[in-house]
Structure 1
């Protein structure tokens, strides 16, 4: 399980970095829904690190709201999962 999380976070980091590069070069971008989907399926840490390093999507309020709601949803799912385990 740990290897899967590492891989998806690395993928998330790369995708955010690639989107930033495309933005700088005025090329066709990766959709926000794709970025959020990778984040949802476990790439949260990679996404946060990429957002800080590349300074990507940090000034876009609508994306930050969606990202924040996604984090809250993930936390709720994790808490629910751990309550079921007890």
Structure 2
């Protein structure tokens, strides 16, 4: 079974790569990655990689609606993680 930390690392790397692909597509005026996909990756635990990509690549940092939804997905993910770690058996 994969540990929670390993899962977050894998999904974060995937999120970073996806942000990088979207940034290149934006520069080259090609088909973009949907914001839904970026948010889904964040919701699943890739938000650390997404946040790192936003800062490192300067991508999606000025879009207010994207940022609002991004931080909402972070909050939901952290709440779920805390729930799973504090109450692993639903207790």
The question of a shared fold, defined as TM-score above 0.5 by the shorter chain, is answered with yes
Q: Please report the TM-score for the alignment, with normalisation by the length of structure 2.
A: 0.85
Which contiguous aligned blocks of 4+ residues in structure 1 show a shift greater than 4 angstroms?
none
Q: What is the Cα deviation at residue 42 of structure 1?
A: 1.3
Give me the whole-angstrom Cα distance separating, in 1, the residues matched to 2:73 and 2:10.
20
Q: Given the alignment, which residue of 41, 52, 59 partners 2:62?
A: 59
Relative to its length, the structure with more helix (as a share) is: 1
Q: What is the Cα deviation at residue 6 of structure 1?
A: 1.8
The yes-or-no answer on 1:23 pairing with 2:33 is no
Q: Given the alignment, which residue of 56, 65, 86 partners 1:83?
A: 86
5+ residue gaps, structure 2, are none
Q: Please report the TM-score for the alignment, with normalisation by the length of structure 1.
A: 0.90
Q: What is the Cα deviation at residue 81 of structure 1?
A: 2.0
Q: What is the Cα deviation at residue 64 of structure 1?
A: 0.3
Q: Give the total of aligned pairs.
A: 86
5+ residue gaps, structure 1, are none
Residue 48 of structure 1 is matched in structure 2 by 51
The yes-or-no answer on 1:13 pairing with 2:16 is yes
